[in-house]
Amino acid sequence: MIEPGGTIGILGGGQLGRMTALAAAALGYRCHIFSPEPESPAKRVTALATTADYGDRAALRQFAAAVDVITFEFENVPAESVEVLAALKPVRPGPDALRIAQDRLKEKDFLRSIDVATARYREVASEKALTEAVREIGPEAVLKTVRLGYDGKGQVTIRTNTDLAAAWSRMGAGLGILESLVDFASEISVIVARGMDGACAAYVPVENRHSHHILDTTIAPARIAPEIAMRAEAIARHVAEKLDLVGLLAVEMFVTRDGAVLVNELAPRPHNSGHWTIDACVTSQFEQFVRAVCGLPLGSPERHSDAVMKNLLGDEVAQWRDALSDPMAKLHLYDKGAPRPGRKMGHVTRLSPRR
């Protein structure tokens, strides 16, 4: 166990690291942020920081020497860097979970291997392979890069009349995955925490609305049948166990019109669809993350309020005044400076207390 007073090393300097550092501080921990940007939302709230490239081995070794445990707030840390760190200090979740979550093909293969349903998919390594994969999967599909894709980056939707050569080059022409286009009734996610003793605590499934592939709104709880909610939660727990994960796992899923639950994506870290838990639950996802990573017992994920979380994307950050005029709204700003289109600048959670 890392006791309060210890230092948690976090790879990544964004808002997830910022909110983790704030929760860690409440429990008496310090956070040391490692990221290439000298100024970042997480570094603005922590005294300890390293500014270096994720591949800088000397900086990684110094960072490891300065902290008690290491985690990450985004997946795209080079696997080799995580191996360097893991030889020096505990890294939670471990390199295996990261390797799977970094690669959409490995992720889907892993899910299949543990009997979790996903959209149908094929690996595509060339334009010719894309044509064949479209023949097998069907003309309505999504082409995604296998690595480094997030918030819809590196994604191309394919329909009957799509020019496949153009789609292939738009995707980036690297290794890709073609998935069948799911005609979903809703998109949901479940965040589950898993402690070092294997204990799990899952938050209620929430419903996610996207705008241009970026999360716009999370509705907690999701408006789905209790039986579907139970299945979604069971899937999230199952995946966390099979990954032998210590930390947090967000599982993004599609609920199809005929009630099937298909897993779309895994994120082994705090997740945007869990921001509502800061204001609406006994234990927030960030506190739960700190507890799990430090080997403390998990807290209750129970919610005292229903909630709707709205991301403030780009210029929407100007709405901060409106949020403050609603007494049941909780405003969170990430201190990112100038807004850019689609950039996550903050969020507002509107609460409806449960009686």
Check residue 119 for interaction with ligand AMP (CB under 6 A): yes
Check residue 340 for interaction with ligand AMP (CB under 6 A): no
Count of chain residues binding ligand AMP (CB under 6 A): 13
Check residue 342 for interaction with ligand AMP (CB under 6 A): no
**Which range touches ligand AMP (CB under 6 A), out of 75-83, 125-133, 167-175, 178-186?**
178-186
Nearest distance from C-beta of residue 182 to ligand AMP, angstroms: 4
- Tally of CB atoms within 10 A around 187: 20
**Which range touches ligand AMP (CB under 6 A), out of 181-189, 302-310, 314-322, 324-332?**
181-189
Query: Which one, 103 or 252, has the nearer CB to ligand AMP?
Result: 252
Member of 107, 187, 279, 287 binding ligand AMP (CB under 6 A): 187
Beta bridge partners of 344: 313
Exposed/middle/buried for residue 5 (C-beta within 10 Å: 0-12, 13-18, 19+): exposed
Check residue 36 for interaction with ligand AMP (CB under 6 A): no
Member of 264, 272, 273, 277 binding ligand AMP (CB under 6 A): 264
Check residue 265 for interaction with ligand AMP (CB under 6 A): yes
| DSSP class of 34 | E
The site map against ligand AMP for 73-112 (x = CB under 6 A) is ----------------------------------------
Exposed/middle/buried for residue 115 (C-beta within 10 Å: 0-12, 13-18, 19+): exposed
Total residues found in the chain within this entry: 355
Rg (CA), the chain: 20
Check residue 213 for interaction with ligand AMP (CB under 6 A): yes
Enter the tokens of residue 126: 């060339």
Member of 73, 75, 103, 179 binding ligand AMP (CB under 6 A): 179
| DSSP track, 173-231 | SSSEEEEEPP-EEEEEEEEEEE-TTS-EEEPPPEEEEEETTEEEEEEES-SS-HHHHHH
**Sequence-distant (≥ 6) Cβ neighbours of residue 25 within 8 angstroms:** 31, 45
Nearest distance from C-beta of residue 55 to ligand AMP, angstroms: 24
Check residue 182 for interaction with ligand AMP (CB under 6 A): yes
Nearest distance from C-beta of residue 107 to ligand AMP, angstroms: 10
Residue 170 and residue 197 in contact, taking contact as beta carbons nearer than 8 Å: no
Nearest distance from C-beta of residue 23 to ligand AMP, angstroms: 25
Pick out residues in 41-60 that bind ligand AMP (CB under 6 A): none
Measure CA 303 to chain center: 20
Nearest distance from C-beta of residue 156 to ligand AMP, angstroms: 11
Nearest alpha carbon to residue 61 among 24, 9, 12: 9
Q: Which residues of the shown chain bind ligand AMP in the complex (CB under 6 A)?
A: 119, 142, 149, 152, 179, 181-182, 187, 210, 213, 252, 264-265
